[in-house]
Structure 1
């Protein structure tokens, strides 16, 4: 595997020297300073490449080349934004970057209700509590008709949960859920999010999937021609939030996308954390069924406390069978004679970094620990396979 770590750019409090010393050989990053929908120029790409090369590493994966909301809704200037996307792909290919991650989640990226869940050892993790989310949706955001989407039991539990919160805790819950886009620390306001949600009132899963397939039918042939690999990131969490459509949650969802646009360039970012948050997803079967279309690996683990709560866990200790996943991926790569790019995804916040500037889930020590553990697991499995 190619061992990478995510870096959000020059504004990231975790710098390239830190990442290099953590054992990464490659960087996963994006040009967050460029507004979504605008073209990534060769000059801007090369400027970022040169920063990374000066630190002794390579920019190996783009995460993400974001998809404009008008493409997701197939409205307004969406065809212009698709053409811009194609130009950005050509410019990335000209610069030698071959793997481009993206997602098709409407409005928000990943969602958690708690960014500082305290583990037994004092480290902190990301957590999603659906009852907390129900309280946020109905009573804090006050999304119109939100109460119709939840059971009476969920609404009663949410009221009880909310009654236990202080004013400051309610404000923190609101802020946690509405964290903006990757590379940004600016939160959406209630007015902004309600306006954006209204844009999706007539778009269900079927319509959003149609819009994704149209987008892929346009950009995947360009990527194929250029030798690029597009890797769609699964929805996180893998179910609807705030009534928004979700179309990359299950093995069946992935199959529909791949069958609709049957090009190898139309591939998957295999995220064990996002897919593993749904206990019905068989992580090993997904590798078996779609191994040829897996272009990028996010390896992290979760613990599903009950039907309402999941939280990030240590990379090797959780409900996802990481040892079996790693072995199956190694066998896949050995058979294909390829080395897939991998990064540890998220990580605990350890005491030594608590209080320091960081993006939630992206402090250094927790990811360093995850990367070291994954590299050790990979080395042990490779050794065992080669000596059997």
Structure 2
């Protein structure tokens, strides 16, 4: 049984068209209703409107990415009770429309962070890159986050200042813009003032408290998902360690085990992103799949290349630190055991060829993801024949 191959689509305004995704060989699309404010209900009419667009293009929509969790829910303040109730209604509406998998994350304030969204690879393609020293320079000397100076060593602070001073003015400005990009699906960037104000609201929330809030949220929504025939799939932190003084609680094998045990339901599961988990050397990706395989509901197959300084970039799908051959081999074993075709999408493809001249969401140009999908599909096809 082969994986259910999909690509992410950001909706009608996406430069990548549904016809492009179908021509890439995808059977399905992963999308979300980004136009609906976070915390509001997703109405059946809007869900069906999106679904009908996708089906008219010859594909299916069974995976939502993402049904976002509001900051009020993460902090348990403001309108969090109302937002949880709205989340439950959205789950029921999505189930009524035939959706099966609900992807979400519990990262405070910001989604993924990269210092460079156009890192030039040796072949001339562009990749996403996280450079730790640049990030420290941004945190200390551009954002000027209160208390940041206590989180870095004297050597790191000195090196970051030298690094920033040696950057061209346009590169410093680009670094600042890159790290204040809005959430995926939006062209709007945060301002420094907005980020600093938001960070202040998390001043009394550490990792343990945020875990408590995640477990509470899951205790409320997972029974609804289970009753509706849905499964919840949490995406890991990206990068998988604390940033800007914010706690990160879905970064390691221990983190995943904790949240699965805390709400022990088949509907409480993982969006297993090999790129996010793989950015940490202490995460053994294949062993994690072996351990959590029965609770993996969605796969992001991408690869990162890391170094000992805390830097990493998005490698070609078969070329990073994660052994994608062994990953796909284990996925096929999971599917056979569970008698299921897991939805999968390639992720964070390189910007290349004609896409170098197009403005797309960082990591989501068409051709680079097509290349990644083709490579993953080839490995999967060969393995499936060998294991028959």
* TM > 0.5 fold call: yes
Matched, 1:286 2:288: yes
Q: Does 1:348 align with 2:350?
A: yes
Q: Give the Cα–Cα distance (whole angstroms) in 2 for the partners of residues 329 and 308 of structure 1.
A: 28
Aligned pair partner of 1:172 in 171, 174, 198: 174
What is the aligned partner in structure 1 of residue 249 from structure 2? 247
Taking only aligned residues, the RMSD between alpha carbons, in angstroms, comes to 0.7
2:33 aligned to which of 23, 31, 45: 31
Find 1:98's aligned residue among 79, 97, 100: 100
- Residue in structure 1 matched with residue 316 of structure 2 by the alignment: 314
* Residues 277, 285 of structure 2: 8 Å contact kept: yes
The 5 Å alignment of 1:250-261 reads 250-261=252-263
Q: Which residue of 2 aligns with 1:110?
A: 112
Distance in 1 between the 2:236 and 2:261 partners?
17
Q: Are the aligned partners of 2:353 and 2:367 in contact in 1 as well (CA < 8 Å)? A: no
Q: How does 1:262-273 map to 2 (within 5 A)?
A: 262-273=264-275
What is the number of equivalent residue pairs in this alignment? Answer: 386
Q: What pairs up with 1:1-388 in 2 under 5 angstroms?
A: 1-386=3-388
Cα offset, 1:270, TM superposition: 0.4
> Can you list the C-alpha shifts for 1:254-307, whole angstroms capped at 9, x where unaligned?
111011100010000000000000010011111111111100000000111332
- Residue 182 of structure 1 and its aligned partner are, at CA, apart by 1.1
Offset of 1:145 from its aligned partner? 1.4
Contact 1:122 / 1:351 at 8 angstroms: preserved in 2? no
Task: Mark the runs of 5 or more structure 1 residues left unpaired by the alignment.
Answer: none
| 8 Å contact kept, 1:4–1:26 | yes
161-170 vs 117-126, which deviates more?
161-170
- TM-score normalised over the length of structure 2: 0.99
Q: Distance in 2 between matches of 1:324 and 1:273?
A: 15
- Secondary structure at 1:235 match in 2: coil
Q: Does the aligned pair in 2 maintain the 1:14–1:363 contact within 8 Å?
A: yes
Distance 1:189 1:264 in 2: 40
Write out per-residue CA displacement over residues 83-132 of structure 1, whole angstroms, 9 at most, x where no aligned residue: 00000000000001010100000000000000111111100100001110
Given that residues 125 and 361 in structure 1 are in contact (C-alpha distance below 8 angstroms), is that contact kept between their aligned partners in structure 2?
yes
- Provide Cα deviations, 1:189-245, integer angstroms capped at 9, x if missing partner: 010000000000000000000000000000001111111010000000000110001
State the TM-score, normalized to the length of structure 1: 0.99
In the alignment, the residues of structure 2 paired with residue 27 and residue 173 of structure 1 have an alpha-carbon distance, to the nearest angstrom, of 32
**Are the counterparts in 1 of residues 351 and 363 from structure 2 also a CA contact under 8 Å?**
yes
Q: In structure 1, the residue corresponding to 2:345 is in which secondary structure?
A: strand
Gaps of 5+ in 2: none
Deviations 1:51-110 (A, max 9, x none): 001100011210000001000000111010000000000000000101010000000000
- Report the secondary structure of 1:354's partner residue: helix
CA distance, structure 1, for counterparts of residue 217 and residue 43 of structure 2 = 21
Runs of 4+ residues deviating >2 angstroms: 305-308
